[in-house]
Amino acid sequence: MTVNLKYQEKLISVGELPSAANKRTSYVPLHHRNILCIFPKYSRSFGTFHHAYPLMGNVKAFMPPQGILIVAAYLPEKWNVRFIDENITCANKSDYQWADVVIVSGMHIQQPHINKINELAHKEGKITVVGGPSVSGCPEYYPDFDILNLGELGDGTDRMIAYLDENSDRPSEQIRFETKERLPLSEFPTPAYHLLNLNDYFLANVQFSSGCPYRCEFCDIPELYGRNPRMKTPEQVIAELDMMLQCGNPGSVYFVDDNFVGDRRAAMQLLPHLIDWQKRNGYPLQFACEATLNLAQSPKLLEMMREAYFCTVFCGIETPETDALQAISKTHNLSMPILEAVKVLNSYGMEVVSGIIIGFDTDTPETADRILEFIRISQIPVLTINLLHALPKTPLWRRLEQEQRLVFDENRESNIEYLMPYEQVVEMWRRCISTAYEPEFLYERFAYNMVHTFPNRIKVPNSPARTSWANIRKGLTYFTNILLRVGVFGNYRSTFWKMAKPALKSGNIEDLIHVGLVGHHLIKFAQECVNNEESASFYSQKIRTKINS
């Protein structure tokens, strides 16, 4: 981290920072402030990929937190800002004592950790601020914070900054600053990547757009961020990618947009810039994104994504049952046959990752069989198999509230009273996830993609950016750990070698590393689910771990 900070100071001194990186609040403070920005620890889940970290050397967390890094970059330049991601290391007493203000941001699943940070900051007499999606959706979750910053970056943020400049003591009662006029994404600063070490993360991320035009019943995105997608400029995205490479090569970058193709015209305008950037820099990165399945109906867009080296696309398929998709207002998944859409995406070299949800009102005892058959036929390796959970500010929440079917019990895996018996729904989930990630079944699907999907990607050059000693050393670390921890000591090593030997024989090391890392997490996580050690929902209220003091 020290190296990155020194490099940043050098860039500032010679005026080489991209202009997007310098976009800060227009407010000019009169006083100096020390701001401690903390991103709270995530509860372990399917999507954190934590079981892969020991195979990767120094990796400690999944992705950098975009939101709070943007806030850190937006604060007045004369203020000192310190950033701590508690998924990597926890803030200590001296950090709290250094700060004048402690700013926290997070999602609902992080609520216990967010409130714990508030408690620790108050012990040191510090002003506390909470922003982000959780407090914006449910301010009542955070009654003890001094300041709530509700909504996105905008006029509410500027008013909060002015208040912090003018006041050095904690307020006598909670204050709320709510954004009424959002800052256009085209005026967002580059996230403060210089405050972290990208090598600590499984992959990097970038946000191009915000909002989604669809209204799926269970999703809170339209209410939080709107149905008309807003975009950064292509130049901003390129500046962020440049900054990432200056702070280290993350290898993979995930576009964390709610829907990368929510505005297809904007995506078409961005892609030539990404293609040009990849060619100029020797294709240093793989790209991934989240998009609706109807992306498969846009061949021109897919061809450009292929040339930009998009290798993975997450699609919220949710269920193969058409009556369920109609009931949850996800009919755009029915615009073409789902299996055909998956095959189309595969034909452009994109490995499909699918969201699957169990617990819809239309589910029957046969739903688990249909999901497992869909997994077998589609050959999708990675699926986020999750129990349906009602989020506040969603049509699902409001409907279930009217039907008196919301359940608030920390001993349950979900807050929904299902139409099927609760234990039966949980057992369906357990059966699906344990079967899907049984090593032989999982590796069969990965093997299919190694033959029928990965070869459809463009052939990228052996450029200096890809064959640097740092990348070679990283690859050797991954490869050695996979062979040793999985191939020698793993409890599924015989199955691993059935997959690995053909890949080794053909020299397909890069794909073998990908399958080894991702597959190991999936297999280990599923085993923990079977043993009731992991939650059946990303948003589960069921408490399995204590918050550290």
- Reported as a single tens digit per residue, the pLDDT across 73-88 is 999 999 999 999 999 9
- For the chain, percent helix, then strand, then coil, each to nearest 5? 50, 15, 40
CA distance 247 to 466: 16
In whole angstroms, how far apart are CA 175 and each of 147, 148, 155, 163, 171? 5, 6, 15, 10, 8
Q: What is the pLDDT of residues 374-388, one digit of tens each?
A: 999 999 999 999 999
In whole angstroms, how far apart are CA 523 and each of 133, 306, 443, 490, 543? 31, 29, 10, 11, 22
CA distance 365 to 321: 13
CATH number for domain 34-55+64-178, candidates 3.40.720, 3.30.70, 3.40.50, 3.20.20? 3.40.50
Q: What is the pLDDT of residues 410-464, one digit of tens each?
A: 889 999 999 999 999 999 999 999 999 999 999 999 999 999 999 999 999 999 9
Q: By three-state DSSP, how is residue 246 classified?
A: helix
pLDDT grade for 16, boundaries at 50, 70 and 90? very low
* Most distant CA pair in the chain, distance: 69
CA distance 310 to 155: 35
CA distance 447 to 69: 38
Q: What is the pLDDT of residues 479-491, one digit of tens each?
A: 999 999 999 999 9
Domain boundaries, the chain: 34-55+64-178
What is the model's pLDDT at position 549?
Answer: 39
pLDDT grade for 547, boundaries at 50, 70 and 90? very low
Tokens (6 digits) for 363: 């589910």
In whole angstroms, how far apart are CA 468 and each of 249, 275, 310, 464? 10, 21, 21, 5
Integer distance in angstroms from the first to the last C-alpha of the chain? 26
Q: Which residues of 119-128 are buried (b: 16+ CB within 10 A; e: fewer)?
A: ebbbeeebbb
Q: What is the pLDDT of residues 177-229, one digit of tens each?
A: 999 999 999 999 999 999 999 999 999 999 999 989 999 999 988 888 888 89
pLDDT grade for 45, boundaries at 50, 70 and 90? confident
Q: For tokens 């407090």, what's the residue? A: 135
Mean of the pLDDT values across residues 281-297? 96
As a whole number, the mean pLDDT across the chain is 91
What is the model's pLDDT at position 166?
Answer: 97
DSSP state of 483: I
Tokens (6 digits) for 380: 């999708």
